[in-house]
Amino acid sequence: MTATIAVLSQKGGTGKTTTVRTLADILRRVGVATLAVDLDPQGNLSDYFDVPPETAPTVADMLMGGATPSEATYADVIPANLNLAEAELSLGGKIGRELTLRRALAKAPEEYELIMIDCPPSLGLLTVNALVAADYALVTAQGQYFALQGVEQAMEVVELARETLNEELELLGILLGLADMRTVHSREALASLQESFPGKVFSSVIRSSIAYAESAERAVSIVDYRPDLARDYLALADEVLARVGGFEQARRQLEEITPVRPEHAAS
């Protein structure tokens, strides 16, 4: 059985793509066959994974019925580009438009144990498609003022998807990223999320560091670029696997990845 996780947020720049990229990388390292789906016309996930820009077919072709998931997969990534914006527009007029991704991914190769979907920074039709295709929603929030407000809006859409189109959908958790716990507003953001969504906020908080932008630019995983920082995502990977369940072997292997701080690294 494949478990599908949609990573979403109402706001832009909350770390969705970095989370999909990094979790997919870590999970593959511990033997979890993971398919990453770029569902954002910006194509950032495809860039982070260094998929050549002209790669075709893409997720847009898959949604329009012109390619199967296997045909649209390039190195365990189903990439996206601006064609996805057009595909979203033409889906808009169709009956069953919210079910398109679910139907397409039903044909994804069975050997994938996890599918992670990177949503665009809006709660429109593409994000709804991801929530209808998913078993779990992972909501990202930035460790700043107004974190709670963005999460509340995302949660409303998760609820709506569950009530109307996908009653199996579960909230996997809320992730606080780009946080600096030395600052009052990151601490307040965490506290207000924990208060509003008890038991749902991941204990792993992702620290803010310029190293994320640097590693994205170089298309290198943070695990290799700054193993010391990658501890945050290693801990998150463990929480994610524990919440999904059934990945004991992979969780044991996670313990063996022990990141060290490179001598030369700046903070």
Ligand X SMILES: Nc1ncnc2c1ncn2[C@@H]1O[C@H](COP(=O)(O)OP(=O)(O)OP(=O)(O)O)[C@@H](O)[C@H]1O
CB of 50 to ligand X, least distance (A): 14
212 binds, among Mg ion, ligand X, none (CB under 5 to 8 A by kind): ligand X
CB of 245 to Mg ion, least distance (A): 27
- Residue placing its CB nearer to Mg ion in the complex, 16 or 226: 16
Please give the residue ranges that form the binding site for ligand X (CB under 6 A): 9, 12-18, 40, 42, 44, 121, 177-178, 206, 208-209, 212-213, 216
Q: State the distance between the two ends of the chain, measured CA to CA, in whole angstroms.
A: 41
Give which of 153, 119, 124 is closest to 136, Cα–Cα: 119
Q: Give the x-and-dash track for 22-51 against Mg ion (CB under 5 A).
A: ----------------------x-------
- Residue placing its CB nearer to ligand X in the complex, 114 or 126: 126
- Residue placing its CB nearer to ligand X in the complex, 34 or 215: 215
Encoded tokens for 76? 């365990």
- How many chain residues touch Mg ion (CB under 5 A)? 3
Q: Kindly tell me which residue out of 10, 17, 46, 73 binds Mg ion, with binding defined by CB under 5 A.
A: 17
Q: How far apart are CA 223 and CA 259, in angstroms?
A: 8
14 is a site residue for Mg ion (CB under 5 A): no
Adjacency order of strands within the sheet including 114-118 = 77-78, 34-38, 114-118, 3-8, 136-142, 170-177
- Residue placing its CB nearer to ligand X in the complex, 73 or 215: 215
Site for Mg ion in 93-112 (CB under 5 A): none
154 three-state secondary structure: helix
CB of 141 to ligand X, least distance (A): 10
Q: Helices 16-29 and 248-256 sit at what angle, rounded to 10 degrees? A: 90
16 is a site residue for Mg ion (CB under 5 A): yes
Cβ contacts of 252 within 8 Å, gap of 6 or more: none
Give which of 124, 161, 154 is closest to 138, Cα–Cα: 154
9 is a site residue for Mg ion (CB under 5 A): no
57 binds, among Mg ion, ligand X, none (CB under 5 to 8 A by kind): none
Cβ contacts of 68 within 8 Å, gap of 6 or more: 62, 104, 107
Q: How far apart are CA 192 and CA 243, in angstroms?
A: 22
Residues near Mg ion, by CB under 5 A = 16-17, 44
